[in-house]
Structure 1
């Protein structure tokens, strides 16, 4: 996915890029933690390291949700 696509998804979710990331993941700790990132930097992290996202994202029509539990997907209806 591109940075533009991630930006659009983040707007649908009403979240920031860093809110999507699993901060306990060793790669997050090694590559990202403790550094100062601007908005473009956070978007590039999502592009290059999508495996760091903590939960699946469901998108339906013009809505999106971060599915922390399996039943969260029902919120799209």
Structure 2
């Protein structure tokens, strides 16, 4: 069970070796972290991502977006 839980980290670590830039690697890590947060909160990642990408354009720059995080989406 533990091996199955850490496998995604090992896979991602190998993928990050091929990032062309530090900002690119940081962006990959953020997306990966959000997807794993969805999994931990029992939120379907694709549905959550669709929701976030339709809600973000409706927001003004600087608006609070914490309500869009996966653990808040799980409470809907």
TM-score (norm 2): 0.30
Which structure carries more strand by proportion?
Answer: 1
Q: Which of the two has higher C-alpha Rg?
A: 2
Which structure carries more helix by proportion?
Answer: 2
Higher RCO, 1 vs 2 (CA within 8 Å, ≥6 residues apart) = 1
TM-score (norm 1): 0.30
